[in-house]
Amino acid sequence: MRYKLTIAYDGAAYCGWQRQPDPVPTVQRTIELAAGAIVSHPVTVAGSSRTDTGVHARGQVAVMETTCDLEPQRLRMAINSRLPADISIRQLEPCSAEFDVSRATCKRYRYLIWNQRDRPVFQRHYVYHYWHPLQIEPMRQACRQFLGGHDFMAFSSRTEDRLSTVRHIYHCDIGQRGPIMIFSVEGSGFLYHMVRNMVGTVVEVGRGHWPSDCIPRILQSKDRSQAGPCAPAQGLCLQWIRF
């Protein structure tokens, strides 16, 4: 049987999604061990997004193959019973051999900024505490300039081994709810640290260091040093993936 898994996790205790040599804690390895204990054979869980250390997810998607013939809901509950409290399989459903997790058509990320001088004691693992005042309207103007298809090489934090660094952004905006600024972006795909570098750049606009029309210039430069700093991991959450 082949299954599609929709997974939520708090990434604070993990060195990202992707499996690493034992004993490095990763989300993928943790799920594989739990699932393997239930189905009584080694399991590989292949994810659609390789989230970084400290990054969270509400809708990571993965596939798993097993010879176990448990009813899907019972299998989901059994695996969850073996998982720690910071990981949960939200949905487990049969899928065909043709379903490919690397073929996502759209992904949505959300990034939270706590823009207040006082520390966010209870939200500290889920927000970026940036206490300098930020002006949201210039930040929104900057966000709109990411829309469309662009070469995002300037917003990637390492040399990419992919054939193309062009990505299409379908939605990008920032709003505010009390002290929390909510940056949201949807796109065809994202490069390594791309969203966090976009946030870091938009923050530079919000604090008045850069003009709101700086994004096209940075994109055209294809130079990482021209973009803003990489925002911390804990503010980032993978919301959903569509195929």
- Are residues 116 and 75 both part of a single domain? no
Q: Which residues of 193-219 are buried (b: 16+ CB within 10 A; e: fewer)?
A: bbbbbbbbbbbbbbbeebebebbeebb
Q: What mean pLDDT comes out for the span 17-39?
A: 96
- Are residues 125 and 222 both part of a single domain? yes
Give the end of a domain, one of 59, 94, 129: 94
Q: Can you give the CATH number for the domain in which 70 is found?
A: 3.30.70.580
- Are residues 117 and 229 both part of a single domain? yes
Give the end of a domain, one of 72, 94, 116: 94
- Are residues 71 and 134 both part of a single domain? no
Q: Can you give the CATH number for the domain in which 234 is found?
A: 3.30.70.660
- Are residues 132 and 41 both part of a single domain? no
Under a CB-based contact definition with an 8 Å cutoff, are residues 134 and 113 in contact?
Answer: yes
Q: Is residue 150 part of a domain?
A: yes
pLDDT at 122 exceeding the cut of 70: yes
What is the predicted pLDDT for the residue at 157?
86
Give the end of a domain, one of 46, 63, 94: 94
Q: DSSP letters of 182-215?
A: EEEEEES---TTHHHHHHHHHHHHHTTSS-TT-H
pLDDT-derived band at 22, boundaries 50, 70, 90: confident
Please give the model's pTM, rounded to 2 decimal places. Answer: 0.95
Q: Give the residue numbers spanning the domain of 82.
A: 2-94
Q: Is residue 36 part of a domain?
A: yes
Q: Is residue 181 part of a domain?
A: yes
Structural domain total, the chain: 2
- Are residues 123 and 85 both part of a single domain? no
Under a CB-based contact definition with an 8 Å cutoff, are residues 74 and 38 in contact?
Answer: no
- Are residues 25 and 65 both part of a single domain? yes
Instruction: Report, as residue numbers or ranges, the catalytic residues.
Output: 52
Q: What mean pLDDT comes out for the span 3-29?
A: 96
- Are residues 36 and 69 both part of a single domain? yes
Q: Is residue 208 part of a domain?
A: yes
pLDDT at 159 exceeding the cut of 70: no
Please count the other Cβ atoms lying within 10 Å of the Cβ belonging to residue 14: 25
- Are residues 140 and 80 both part of a single domain? no
- Are residues 90 and 167 both part of a single domain? no
Under a CB-based contact definition with an 8 Å cutoff, are residues 123 and 198 in contact?
Answer: no
- 39-85, pLDDT tens digit by residue? 999 999 999 999 999 999 999 999 999 999 899 999 999 999 999 99
- Are residues 198 and 149 both part of a single domain? yes
pLDDT-derived band at 158, boundaries 50, 70, 90: confident
Q: Is residue 101 part of a domain?
A: no
- Are residues 170 and 83 both part of a single domain? no
